[in-house]
């Protein structure tokens, strides 16, 4: 008996954080810094900062031959792109067979400590009140329970620590962050920017806002980080700690408190509900390798496993009180699945600037903030889109006469080609109840978890928006004097943007939402969900910065509530 | 959707899209490691010499080393041998045979015994008679050369750790393109 009590004690923490990505990292940092003993559970393998990034500094000729093919790899059918050799097992092997698609869906799953914070695109933008108010104004979905003013101080808080490079614009639709120095633009980008400013009142083009240290301020240096070296190989992991990841940014301070226990290879299978206390008491975990089961207990549980995985975990946590999934009184759990739709835009070339060149490899692009349905602009669809993209000057890959060979070809390929520039639209998707994910409990994986099924697609509003996304890109590039402007629409399947959102949405009314304005499950006050699952609408901007702000805010709220003995 | 290849290719595109539109070649390359499927095609020594000689006609030694010096034939051999379907492998092997056949017809010697202008003439004829083979050979020669240590560091400007970014600078006389 005593033994059991001791065992339970040893497995009891103040808080459990499920997931170690962008959201989980922030939750762990804030909770440990506020004095809580935290257990962070990650289903992936350990990935040590710096020493774990084994491919980070390799030259092209140190990579496998087929890896050197670049884009051409697609032409060589027996050279399947397999990240395993070059970015060893950052991604979950066989993830594409771990779910079922009723409608086409892509679910990209990391398999490491740090989650997608290691491989993310780093683009960081604030939501605005235009985003927070849109649902209520237009009668779409439900109203957000928070407004910009609730989140603004938390945006500032996370930005100062993470380091967001960008340029102040003072736009109502895209509030400025606490910026470190903006990165430079390529000449061709500067030309297109001038043309947009001249030809389109109300439209601007700015340098991408990115979580890369364009300069390392004291707060960053003190956290062991160095400035960006402009190698543009972020996705392999940064040995300089120059971009925001769990490992570079939120994990070190959490570890420093001495109150963090990080347990990799830990697949959380269930959140345990205590009907008497009307609280969650802990979690069940399966070791990813040994498949041994274990239980851990805590006063507070932060679910930060990524939108789809967190939702699946709540759905799999059934009890008499919650037969349809933990906290799912509203029946909304798994519904209102959103992503951004993209893969549409235009590219062109520029004949000017032949006597100009560039230096360094910028791990960032440009950004054209949303301008549709802003101010006097009114379209036949709701919401809008922004453009990412960028320019450059072609190198040895540039087109030369296809039958050319010999010394002249060699000479030609060592000279810079034309400047070029592309725009990719990223559009908002409206929340719709019919867009959903659910569990197929007849199909279990080796950890005993049910298979996820995706049944979601973009709708008419998004399709109408895409007409503008394509035409506007072409028009802006042509107006800027680019030549050979070509449009493309590669179609957009949900999940491809890896901005999955909305399946455990926040709201004021427990009858129509899963979480309240503090990311707390309405009916289970000690469980918080702060990843993409919580989002009530998607806006058109990259969402990770908002997850950071929401996670930090919810963690501080949770500690307050704990001290006040309300949870 | 129906073949593992397509699924992997889509996974790859997702990876590429995840990091936005500013992927540099090495980052793209980082996403595209390779696993071998099927039985690899192993080239004979004579075939390898021929591939090296052909590559050297496409990117010859000038004031900088040529494709042969850069060992490009090994790259080509690996890609054709490990990364292509049997039909493509056959096409490539046939191209090699035709090269020697053409050499014999025109100059009554195998390709390896031709002098430089004669080799150039045979390759010029290949561009007409064996165009798919020539295009494959040319493409792999270019990629293999400029991603090799020799090509990247001797013929192009290789800058592993730039340390800063400037998007608009004067193009200096003789400035070669960046290898990355």
Query: Could you give the CA distance from residue A530 to residue B55 in angstroms, rounded to a whole number?
Result: 56
Q: Give chain A's end-to-end CA distance (angstroms, integer).
A: 28
Query: Could you give the CA distance from residue B54 to residue B42 in angstroms, rounded to a whole number?
Result: 18
Interface of A with B in 244-273 (CB under 8 A): none
B20 pLDDT more than 70: no
For residue A292 the two structure tokens come to 């041994």
Judge if A345 and A335 occupy the same domain: no
Alpha helices in A42-93 (DSSP H): 83-86
Query: Could you give the CA distance from residue A102 to residue B10 in angstroms, rounded to a whole number?
Result: 17
Structural domain span for residue B68: 41-155
Three-class secondary structure of residue A133 per DSSP = helix
Instruction: Report which of A352, A342, A345 is spatially closest to residue A485, judged by C-alpha positions.
Output: A345
pLDDT score for A133 = 98
Asked if residue B172 belongs to a domain, the reply is no
B23 pLDDT more than 50: no
pLDDT score for A1 = 42
Q: How many Å lie between the alpha carbon of A468 and the closest alpha carbon of chain B?
A: 20
Which portions of chain A are predicted below pLDDT 50? 1, 79-86
pLDDT score for A82 = 44
Interface of A with B in 326-345 (CB under 8 A): 342-343
Mean pLDDT value across residues B143-166: 96
Judge if B6 and B72 occupy the same domain: no
Judge if A423 and A522 occupy the same domain: no
pLDDT score for A420 = 96
Judge if A154 and A190 occupy the same domain: no
Residues of chain B above pLDDT 90, percent: 71
For residue A181 the two structure tokens come to 């120095």
Judge if A222 and A250 occupy the same domain: no
Instruction: Considering only the beta carbons, identify the residue of A66, A74, A356 that sits closest to B9.
Output: A74
pLDDT score for A4 = 66
Contacts of A221 (CB under 8 A, 6+ apart): none
Asked if residue B175 belongs to a domain, the reply is no
Judge if A272 and A384 occupy the same domain: no
In terms of Cβ atoms closer than 10 Å to its own Cβ (0-12, 13-18, 19+), residue A97 is exposed
B31 pLDDT more than 60: no
Query: Could you give the CA distance from residue A128 to residue A545 in angstroms, rounded to a whole number?
Result: 12
Contacts of B28 (CB under 8 A, 6+ apart): A70, A71, B16
Q: How far is CA A384 from the centre of its chain?
A: 19
| Chain B contact for A399 (CB, 8 A cutoff) | no
Structural domain span for residue A408: 173-238+341-427+458-492
pLDDT score for A67 = 72
CA-based angle A519:A125:A474, to the nearest 5?
A: 130
Instruction: Considering only the beta carbons, identify the residue of A189, A236, A396 that sits closest to B146.
Output: A396
DSSP secondary structure string for all residues of B25-43: HHHHHHT--B---SPPP--
Interface of A with B in 480-519 (CB under 8 A): 495-498
Mean pLDDT value across residues B65-91: 92
Q: What is the ipTM of this complex?
A: 0.93
pLDDT score for B130 = 95
DSSP secondary structure string for all residues of A303-367: E-S-HHHHHHHHHH---SS-TTSTT-SSS-TTBS-B--B--EEEEEEE---TTEEEES--S--EE
| Chain B contact for A402 (CB, 8 A cutoff) | yes
Judge if B117 and B55 occupy the same domain: yes
pLDDT score for B5 = 36
Instruction: Report which of A544, A537, A218 is spatially closest to residue A384, judged by C-alpha positions.
Output: A537
Judge if A529 and A517 occupy the same domain: yes
CB contacts, 8 Å: B74 with chain A = 65
Domain count, chain B: 2
Residues of chain B above pLDDT 70, percent: 78
B17 pLDDT more than 80: no
Three-class secondary structure of residue A210 per DSSP = strand
B171 pLDDT more than 80: yes
CB contacts, 8 Å: B20 with chain A = 121, 123, 208, 365, 388, 390, 424
Judge if A423 and A442 occupy the same domain: no
Judge if A555 and A477 occupy the same domain: no
Residue A273 parent element (H or E): strand A266-274
The dihedrals phi and psi of A164, each to the nearest 5 degrees, come to -115, 120
B89 pLDDT more than 80: yes
Domain count, chain A: 2
pTM beyond cutoff 0.80: yes
Cβ pair A247, A113 in contact under 8 A: yes
A456-484 pLDDT, tens digit per residue, is: 999 999 999 999 999 999 999 999 999 99
């Amino acid at each position: 008996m005593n033994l059991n009590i001791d065992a339970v004690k040893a497995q009891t923490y103040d808080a459990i954080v499920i997931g170690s990505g962008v959201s989980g990292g922030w939750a762990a940092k804030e909770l440990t810094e506020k004095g809580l003993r935290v257990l962070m559970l990650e289903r992936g393998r350990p990935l040590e900062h710096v020493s774990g990034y084994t491919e980070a500094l390799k030259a092209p000729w140190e990579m496998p031959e087929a890896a050197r093919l670049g884009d051409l790899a697609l032409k060589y059918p027996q050279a399947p792109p397999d990240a395993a050799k070059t970015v060893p097992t950052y991604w979950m092997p066989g993830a594409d067979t771990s779910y079922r698609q009723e409608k086409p869906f892509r679910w990209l799953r990391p398999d490491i400590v740090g989650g997608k914070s290691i491989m993310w695109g780093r683009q960081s933008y604030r939501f605005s009140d235009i985003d927070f108010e849109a649902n209520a104004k237009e009668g779409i979905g439900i109203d957000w329970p928070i407004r910009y003013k609730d989140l603004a101080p938390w945006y500032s808080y996370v930005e100062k620590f993470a380091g967001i490079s960008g340029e102040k614009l003072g736009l109502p639709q895209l509030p400025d962050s606490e910026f470190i120095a903006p990165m430079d633009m390529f000449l061709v980008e500067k030309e297109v920017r001038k043309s947009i400013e001249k030809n389109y009142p109300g439209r601007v083009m700015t340098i991408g806002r990115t979580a890369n240290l364009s300069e390392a301020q004291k707060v960053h240096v003190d956290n062991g980080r160095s400035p960006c070296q402009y190698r543009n190989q972020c996705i392999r992991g940064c040995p300089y700690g120059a971009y925001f990841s769990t490992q570079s940014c939120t994990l070190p301070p959490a570890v420093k408190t001495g109150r963090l226990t990080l347990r990799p290879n830990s697949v959380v299978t269930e959140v345990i509900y205590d009907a008497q206390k009307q609280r969650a008491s802990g979690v069940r975990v399966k070791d990813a390798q040994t498949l041994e089961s274990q239980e851990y207990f805590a006063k507070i549980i932060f679910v930060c496993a990524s939108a789809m995985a967190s939702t699946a975990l709540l759905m799999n946590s059934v009890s008499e009180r919650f037969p349809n999934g933990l906290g799912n009184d509203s029946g909304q759990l798994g519904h209102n699945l959103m992503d951004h739709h993209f893969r549409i835009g235009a590219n062109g070339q520029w004949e000017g600037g032949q006597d100009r060149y560039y230096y360094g490899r910028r791990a960032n692009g440009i950004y054209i903030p949303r301008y549709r349905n802003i101010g006097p602009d009114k379209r036949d669809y709701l919401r809008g889109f922004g453009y990412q993209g960028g320019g450059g000057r072609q190198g040895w890959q540039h087109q030369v006469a296809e039958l050319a060979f010999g010394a002249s070809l060699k000479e030609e390929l060592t000279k810079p080609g034309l400047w070029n520039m592309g725009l990719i639209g990223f559009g908002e998707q409206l929340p719709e109840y019919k867009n959903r994910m659910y569990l197929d409990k007849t199909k279990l994986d080796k950890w005993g978890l049910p298979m996820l099924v995706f049944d979601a697609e973009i709708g008419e509003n998004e399709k109408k928006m895409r007409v503008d996304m394509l035409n506007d890109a072409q028009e802006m590039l042509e107006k800027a004097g680019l030549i050979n402007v070509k449009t493309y629409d590669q179609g957009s399947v949900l999940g491809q943007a890896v901005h999955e959102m909305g399946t455990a949405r926040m709201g004021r009314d427990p009858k129509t939402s899963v979480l309240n304005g503090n990311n707390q499950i309405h009916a289970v006050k000690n469980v918080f969900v702060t990843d993409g699952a919580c989002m009530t609408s998607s806006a058109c901007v990259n969402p990770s910065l908002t997850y950071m702000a929401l996670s930090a805010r919810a963690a501080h709220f949770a500690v307050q509530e704990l001290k006040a003995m309300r949870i | 959707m129906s073949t593992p290849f397509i699924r992997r290719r889509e996974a790859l595109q997702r990876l590429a899209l995840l990091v936005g539109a500013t992927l540099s070649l090495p980052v793209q390359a980082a996403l595209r490691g390779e696993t071998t499927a099927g039985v690899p095609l192993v080239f004979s020594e004579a075939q390898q010499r021929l591939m090296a000689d052909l590559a050297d006609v496409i990117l010859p030694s000038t004031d900088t080393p040529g494709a042969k010096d850069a060992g490009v034939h090994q790259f080509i051999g690996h890609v054709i041998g490990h990364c292509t379907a049997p039909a493509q492998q056959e096409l490539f092997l046939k191209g090699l045979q035709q090269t020697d056949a053409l050499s014999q017809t025109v100059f009554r010697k195998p390709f390896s015994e031709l002098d430089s202008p004669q080799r150039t003439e045979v390759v010029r004829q290949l561009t007409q008679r064996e165009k798919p083979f020539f295009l494959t050979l040319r493409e792999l020669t270019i990629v293999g050369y400029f991603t090799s240590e020799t090509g990247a560091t001797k013929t192009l400007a290789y800058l592993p750790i730039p340390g800063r970014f400037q998007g608009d600078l004067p193009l200096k006389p003789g400035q070669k393109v960046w290898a990355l």
